[in-house]
Structure 1
Amino acid sequence: MSKPQQRVLTGVTTTGIPHLGNYVGAIRPAIAASQKADTESFFFLADYHGIIKCHDPALIHESTRAVAATWLACGLDPARTTFYRQSDIPEILELNWILTCITAKGLMNRAHAYKAAVQDNLDKGQEDQDHQIEMGLYSYPILMTADILMFNAHKVPVGRDQIQHVEMARDIAQRFNHRFAKLFTLPEVQIDEEVETLVGLDGRKMSKSYGNTIPLFDSEKQLQKAVNKIVTNLKEPGEPKSPDESPLFEIYKAFATPAQTAEFTQMLAEGLAWGEAKKMLAANINTELAPKRERYQALMANPGEIEAILQTGAAKARAQARLLLDQVRDAVGIRVLK
């Protein structure tokens, strides 16, 4: 078997329960990509990133279980990928400190999240621009850099708001390579223009912050209730309708073949009732998610199975991480005395 050409790394923060938008925009395409013969995929639960903003231990714990169960239920194959929990790889945190020691403070000052927090303080009239800003937020890009460089990922799929962090990882890797030894691959951002951004119940991007999400693994009955909340206009059954009159069409398209979408468009034009359209949408979603929901529920009821999979993944990840970290330690002068 030929060696994979590309190593792709994806992290998921453990601060919430995945919804339909997460599935369409991230989970489904990432799992499909991991099945390519020329790709070596690393997936991790970013629980240390989670505690930067979330200080609810119960939520971090529950989200870790739910996110892991979701990815596994949706088809992530731990035999083909390296699937692990960030906190199970202590080498990442050791690398994080080494990289912190060579990272320019000015680079961190330019991080978007930090600048936004400072601006918020200034807008509120705070004398101290760093009021209530914690080091987790400030140093977040360095930890993300350690996540990426620990496994020398070639590609990092991210949203546009995370592009800067991958660019920072390149800068830090270059600095280390120049100062000590050329050990790190320079990662590249991967933006998939074909990946869909699913709209929510109100037509805006589906997001927990907007309160417009559809839960991923609710029961079939609960799914129909959620779909029924999608905003539509007051057109009666029999009146022609167009796809742009409700976010319902965009959601339908994400769970339909081109032929089904064309047929649905025609039915709307011929006066399909919104209520019937919502039933068709819920049925399509349920067809795709029902077997995944069953697997998810089985995993959630047996966290020991999830833990065993994560520990196997951690062992695989640590075997690689240890080799690179030993080289890094040697390069900076942390060596056994002889």
Structure 2
Amino acid sequence: MVRTFSGIQPTGEVHLGNYLGAFGRWAREQEPEHFFCIVDLHAMTAPYDPPVLRERVVDVACWLLAAGIDPDVSILFIQSHVREHTECTWILNCVATMGELSRMVQYKEKSAQRQSVSVGLFDYPVLQAADILLYDADEVPVGADQQQHVELTRDIAQRFNARFGETFALPRATLPRAGARVMDLQQPDRRMSKSVSSPQGKILLSESEEITRKKIMRAVTDSGTEIRAAEDKPGVSNLLDLLAATTGAEIAELETRYKGKNYGDLKRDVAESVNGVLRPVRQRYAELRNDPAEVAALLRRGAGAAREVASKTMDRVRERTGLVAS
């Protein structure tokens, strides 16, 4: 059975792109060897407000559960609840090199936007490597912007194995399938984002159905009236992608269905379909938010299961690296 590790940052509010591109797909494909980790330690590499971080961690957990992540099937946990992540990071720091970390594209982009850069931001990929390697993950679902980090993880694991003996499995990145990218409603040439998209460009899962409908009805379309998916029609293409993702229909089928219809017809159907898909998720989220004790218990159980796996990996790592057993 393939073992998968998926990490989600508790930064910003959860939006439709998170659900269609990640949460919902994870829920449909989950198996006993799937680890879902809320990476709160990674979130600390950017400026943050402690109470807000704490709230968002719980919020993401509730959305994951509401989306269908089943604690009886998969393992859902908070990164900081499994101390082996930080211990493993330090040991991998002694294998990773400054040169390869400084070449990470994401580090270059983020550090260019800040006057002061923390060691945590520089070291982010090594913590990510520890996240993955602790669970002997075979596959790591990531966006294209994180693929380089998984490749670095493989390099670090291979270097460690060559120096200390076979210890870590070598993971591979799996990229989202075509159509999994949800684009900004106002700027459809870029992805819907927690941090970049304007309020009108993203659909938050926490919003009402009416707000969702209004945002879709105000979505940017394109010149002309023909409803078809094409590079020169990013707005219409995005709406067709949303309808395909929420109905299971093929794009070609939708193009035929909307032949001779107008953009308003398409937008109304997209709004109805998106709200229909999100309705049970939003209802389940509200139930979970009203029962914090249940959520806390599920996260404790997940951390216990994750720690059981991670501790065995760390036992091997300590023995191979010459650390004295406690």
Instruction: Go from structure 1 to structure 2 and tell me whether the alpha carbon gap of 1:254 and 1:332 turns closer, same or farther (over 3 Å shift).
Output: same
Q: CA-atom RMSD, angstroms?
A: 2.2
Per the alignment, residue 313 of structure 1 pairs with: 302
Confirm whether residue 49 of structure 1 aligns to residue 42 of structure 2: yes
Per the alignment, residue 251 of structure 1 pairs with: 242
Per the alignment, residue 125 of structure 1 pairs with: none
- Structure 1, residues 142-176: CA drift from partner, whole Å, max 9, x if none? 10011011111111111111111111111111121
How do 1:35-74 and structure 2 match up within 5 A? 35=31, 40-74=33-67
Per the alignment, residue 146 of structure 1 pairs with: 130
TM-score by length of 2: 0.89
Greater Cα shift, 24-33 or 144-153: 24-33
Greater Cα shift, 274-283 or 214-223: 274-283
Confirm whether residue 14 of structure 1 aligns to residue 10 of structure 2: yes
Query: Where does the alignment leave 5 or more consecutive residues of structure 1 unmatched?
Result: 122-130
* SS at structure 1 position matched to 2:314: helix
Instruction: Find the partner of 1:78 among 63, 71, 84.
Output: 71
How do 1:188-227 and structure 2 match up within 5 A? 188-202=172-186, 203-204=188-189, 205-208=191-194, 209-211=196-198, 212-227=201-216
Instruction: Go from structure 1 to structure 2 and tell me whether the alpha carbon gap of 1:120 and 1:234 turns closer, same or farther (over 3 Å shift).
Output: closer
Confirm whether residue 173 of structure 1 aligns to residue 157 of structure 2: yes
Instruction: Find the partner of 2:22 among 17, 20, 26.
Output: 26
* SS at structure 1 position matched to 2:6: strand
Distance across 2 between alignment mates of 1:134 and 1:169: 21
Confirm whether residue 113 of structure 1 aligns to residue 106 of structure 2: yes
| Aligned structure 1 segments of 4 or more residues deviating by more than 6 angstroms | none
Confirm whether residue 98 of structure 1 aligns to residue 87 of structure 2: no
Instruction: Go from structure 1 to structure 2 and tell me whether the alpha carbon gap of 1:267 and 1:150 turns closer, same or farther (over 3 Å shift).
Output: closer
Contact preservation (8 Å) 2:140, 2:174: yes
**How many residue pairs get matched?**
315
Distance across 1 between alignment mates of 2:91 and 2:22: 31
- Deviation, 1:22, is 1.2
Confirm whether residue 265 of structure 1 aligns to residue 249 of structure 2: no
What letter corresponds to residue 301 of structure 1 in structure 2?
A: N
* SS at structure 1 position matched to 2:131: helix
Confirm whether residue 136 of structure 1 aligns to residue 145 of structure 2: no
* SS at structure 1 position matched to 2:33: strand
Distance across 1 between alignment mates of 2:124 and 2:108: 13
Instruction: Go from structure 1 to structure 2 and tell me whether the alpha carbon gap of 1:243 and 1:109 turns closer, same or farther (over 3 Å shift).
Output: same
Contact preservation (8 Å) 1:217, 1:289: no
Instruction: Find the partner of 1:283 among 261, 272, 281.
Output: 272
Contact preservation (8 Å) 2:21, 2:176: no
- Deviation, 1:224, is 1.4
What letter corresponds to residue 178 of structure 1 in structure 2?
A: A
TM-score by length of 1: 0.86
Contact preservation (8 Å) 1:113, 1:137: no
Per the alignment, residue 145 of structure 2 pairs with: 161
- Deviation, 1:268, is 3.4
Instruction: Go from structure 1 to structure 2 and tell me whether the alpha carbon gap of 1:120 and 1:291 turns closer, same or farther (over 3 Å shift).
Output: closer
Identical amino acids, percent of aligned pairs: 35
Query: Where does the alignment leave 5 or more consecutive residues of structure 2 unmatched?
Result: none
